[in-house]
Structure 1
Amino acid sequence: MTSKFVHILGVPFVNTNQKDFINTLQNHIARQERTFVVTANPEIVMHSLEDSQYKQTLAKAQYITADGIGIVKAAAIVGEPLPERVSGYDLMLDLLESAHNNHSSIFFLGAAEEVLQQTVAKAKREYPGIKIAGSHNGFFDWHDHLLPQKIKNAAPDIVFVALGFPRQEQWIGAHIEEFDKGIFIGIGGSFDVFSGTVKRAPEMWQKMNLEWFYRLVKQPSRWKRMLVLPKFAATVIGRKALRK
């Protein structure tokens, strides 16, 4: 029997593929259920080992998906394979398509104001069936309760939270109990990619699982962040060896 969750260094990843997970989220939307989704890469997993409060935040999520080929490879190493990556950006696109077909409402939270407006405009243009419940850029007073109240009043079916790691998970975790319904999902820099501000890796790079390397080539300043990848791999392999 296939396990519902695969644990990587203490983080429970939902054992699913992109298509099935979208169906799962559609069911939550139909039942108007409040749902917290984390799209986690190796950097997030490693941060959870170093920050106990952040790990407690992740524990509030109903679902954590494998956003990164490193997570999929780690699952294979521990002997509990995951079918594929389920990335934040791809989930955003599929949820936009689903919202278009079902006339669901969306709130966009995050990014710079110009990027946010470009994102909302493109979403309206390419997915005319969606309802825009509202939007707010990623620059706000962390302790301002007007923003969560604004979202609660709008009662969106989906809230895209593009504040970047770890802020997006922390913000959702701090406020999720205030809402009655809605899919709250952290999607990192997806607004930047969707708006065209940042280019996503070509499909060939994605198929070769080298999207991370493409980002590094385009943004060399990310090299320090990339150092977490070998550390993550070594930790996964080390933990497996200790269990033998």
Structure 2
Amino acid sequence: MKQTVDILGIPFYNVSQNAFVDELFQLAIDEKRRFVVTANPEIVMHAQQDFEFNQIILQADYIVADGIGIVKAAKNIGKPLNGRVTGYDTMLGLLQKANEKKMRIYFIGAKPNVIEKLVEKVQKTYSDIEIVGARDGYFSASESKRIADDIAESKADFVFLALGFPRQEKWIAAHLQDFDKGIFIGVGGSFDVLSGETKRAPKILVKCNLEWLYRILSQPSRWRRALAIPQFMFAMNRQRKQG
């Protein structure tokens, strides 16, 4: 039974980044089906306000801490996590391992030009991976079933969705039963970074846990989303006092 830490009603899997990649990779080798949520404070706060979304992420097989705020919150309540487990690093780790075994990958999300660049980058960097599907995130609800059927037929080992939350999680939950196998994971803006369309924060900022600040400075339009951080901190202080 996996160990979890409860943060505002969300059970975060207590695992290190490398161990998580290894675990998902083995599950894919064993042809299992899993639903992974990479959650930051913004997602946790959205789950407090959106009951449907809350119930969806609680259906996931794994919820991991993609955000230093989650890690700090766990430490503050005396139940420390093993560190961040980000969607981007999980995707990279799985691509590297999938390349060694010539596994099947399916990408969904981002803009048409981004998905095109992503495919080129992956084919160049991970030449033994079989990309069995890649489509942008601009599709209608009526097209979703056709995409799900295509994934099922492709027998993809890993399906990465960069549709943004809550859309990516809702899509996985709605179609998960259509698949016999596959690791399904929402990775937010990771396609933009891996394709080179946007830059990830400099390593020194990542190391200092200031990646969130870099995102706001490089994309000022995100400032409203950043308001979830103080809201999250306030809610966690309340949980700590009650706990």
Output the amino acid matched with 1:155: K
Question: Which residue number corresponds to residue 163 of structure 1?
Answer: 163
Distance in 2 separating the partners of 1:131 and 1:123: 10
Question: Which residue number corresponds to residue 60 of structure 2?
Answer: 61
Distance in 2 separating the partners of 1:242 and 1:194: 42
Distance in 2 separating the partners of 1:242 and 1:15: 22
Deviation at 1:181, TM superposition (A): 0.3
Distance in 2 separating the partners of 1:137 and 1:163: 9
Question: Which residue number corresponds to residue 40 of structure 1?
Answer: 39
Distance in 2 separating the partners of 1:168 and 1:4: 25
Which structure 2 residue ranges, 5 or more long, are not aligned? Answer: none
Output the amino acid matched with 1:147: I
Distance in 1 separating the partners of 2:62 and 2:242: 28
Distance in 2 separating the partners of 1:242 and 1:57: 26
Distance in 2 separating the partners of 1:63 and 1:142: 26
Deviation at 1:3, TM superposition (A): 6.8
Distance in 1 separating the partners of 2:142 and 2:173: 13
Distance in 2 separating the partners of 1:75 and 1:177: 32
- Could you tell me the TM-score, scaled by structure 1's length? 0.97
CA RMSD for the aligned pairs? 1.1
- How many pairs does the alignment contain? 242
1:105 partnered with 2:108: no
Question: Does 66-75 or 134-143 show the bigger shift?
Answer: 134-143
1:155-234 → structure 2 map (5 Å cutoff): 155-234=155-234
Deviations 1:179-199 (A, max 9, x none): 110000000011101111111
Deviations 1:44-79 (A, max 9, x none): 001111111001110111001100100000111121
1:52 partnered with 2:51: yes
- Could you tell me the TM-score, scaled by structure 2's length? 0.97
Deviation at 1:111, TM superposition (A): 0.6
Distance in 2 separating the partners of 1:228 and 1:141: 28
Distance in 2 separating the partners of 1:8 and 1:15: 12
Distance in 1 separating the partners of 2:207 and 2:155: 37
Change (3 A) 1:222 1:103: same
Output the amino acid matched with 1:36: F
Secondary structure of the residue aligned to 1:108 is strand
1:70-109 → structure 2 map (5 Å cutoff): 70-109=69-108
Distance in 1 separating the partners of 2:96 and 2:2: 29
Output the amino acid matched with 1:91: T
Which structure 1 residue ranges, 5 or more long, are not aligned? Answer: none
